[in-house]
Amino acid sequence: MKVLHICRQFSPSVGGLEDSLLNLARSQRQDMGIDAQVLTLDTVFGRPGRLPHRDMVDGIPVIRIPWRGSTRYPLAPQVLRHIGTFDLLHVHAIDFFFDFLAWTWPFHRKTMIASTHGGFFHTGALRRIKEIWFRTITPISVRAYKRIVACSYSDADLFRTVAAGRLQTIENGINQTRFRDAASRTPGRTILAFGRFAVHKRLRLLFQLVALLRRENPEWKLIVAGQDSNLTVADLRQQAQACGITDALRIVSGPSDAALRDLMGEAAFFGCLSAHEGFGLAAVEAMSAGLIPILSNITPFARLMQQGAAGVMIDPDNLAPGAREVEAMAASLPDTADALRARNMEVASHYDWDSVAQEYVRLYQQVLGQAGPRPVMATVGAE
């Protein structure tokens, strides 16, 4: 079976979607006999230069194509030149590729599924336009896909109204060996945040939380590790200065996995006060390391807590109660650290890429045995 995974950003770009796709495609190629390949754009957003048209990433063949327009909705019609030999197209995220391949389905007639990865509501920018698009254009595009796979239960709630009858939930997984048991063995007051430097991650809120914590105990420190996105290191330093935590902050740009694992070894806590997450990959990875999560009260994080995660949920509109709870948990660590570590690692162990990849293969086999979807153009105005 030949499967082409299609996404706008892939390695060497760093992020939750990119990491999820890398693990999925690698598992399918190495363990399940699937000829999984990736098609993506030929640049990493925010970095100069173009990447090779053909490449190999962890044994996965990668095709990169040019694009134009905005990074919010990059136009890349050359995708049609590269899909002919594949049995199934697996589109990741709701963007140009999702719409374009749907509207051109009467011409290429490929079997397609799509994974949501949070849709396109990661930021509040252009939210009104996004909402209109989601209610009008997206339901039409959905009709070209055999399945819309929600990567989290919050995504399932979001897509239920536009993908009725085609929606299936398969939560993402994590690489269980990547950061397992890496957290500090010495109870302390260091928080690690890692991932893209993006507006929707609300790092400024985390800086404000650390400022509150330091009023109670000046030992609190914060490490922020990741890669520039729509925020830069300079932006973060400016925000930290405004919050008065410059002396307590260390920023590590572009860490390798080995370097990130070492940073986990300095921390007892993981912090993410994101406004939106499709799945919350970094939080699950942090828990697999044994870190105690400090999380915003959004649906994916609430689900982790419901599954038994040991941590603190923060109300972004009222940080002070959460800060008191975090300080109380830190004060208890000499007695509770081992139990909290084991508890969080156990919850994280339920998210395994091998089982996720097997679910996708079963889905591929199922949809390839079905008749084709209704052509998109023929359904406009039909309902």
pLDDT tens track, the chain, 383 positions: 999 999 999 999 988 899 899 999 999 999 999 999 999 999 999 889 999 999 999 999 999 999 999 998 999 999 999 999 999 999 999 999 999 999 999 999 999 999 999 876 544 555 677 788 888 999 999 999 999 999 988 889 889 999 989 999 999 898 889 999 999 999 999 999 999 899 999 999 999 999 999 999 999 999 999 988 889 999 999 999 999 999 999 999 999 999 999 999 999 999 999 998 878 889 999 999 999 999 999 988 999 999 999 999 999 999 999 999 999 999 999 999 999 999 999 999 999 888 899 999 999 999 999 655 555 544 443 33
Place of tokens 């009709």: 143
Q: How far apart are CA 205 and CA 298, in angstroms?
A: 14
Query: Is residue 148 helix, strand or coil?
Result: strand
Distance CA 165, CA 161 (A): 10
Query: Which among 74, 19, 59, 50 is positioned nearest to 353, based on CA atoms?
Result: 19
Instruction: Catalogue all structural domains in the chain, each as residue range(s) with its CATH number.
Output: 2-173+352-379 (3.40.50.2000), 190-348 (3.40.50.2000)
Size of the chain, expressed as the number of residues it contains: 383
The H-assigned helical ranges of the chain are 16-31, 96-103, 105-108, 127-142, 153-159, 203-216, 233-243, 257-264, 281-288, 299-306, 319-348, 353-368, 376-379
For residue 253, report the phi and psi dihedrals to the nearest 5 degrees: -95, 130
Q: How far is Cα 33 from Cα 27, in angstroms, rounded to an integer?
A: 9
| Separation in Å, CA 161 to CA 61, 63, 91, 277 | 36, 34, 20, 19
Q: In 137-147, which positions are buried (b, 16+ CB within 10 angstroms) versus exposed (e)?
A: bbbbbbbbbbb
39: three-class secondary structure by DSSP: strand
> For 375, which DSSP code?
P
**Kind of pairing between the strands at 60-65 and 54-57:** antiparallel
Nearest alpha carbon to residue 374 among 208, 139, 66: 139
Q: Is 109 helix (H, G, I), strand (E, B) or coil?
A: coil
Contact between residue 144 and residue 109 where contact means Cβ atoms under 8 Å apart: no
| Whether the Cβ atoms of residue 5 and residue 25 lie closer than 8 Å to each other | yes
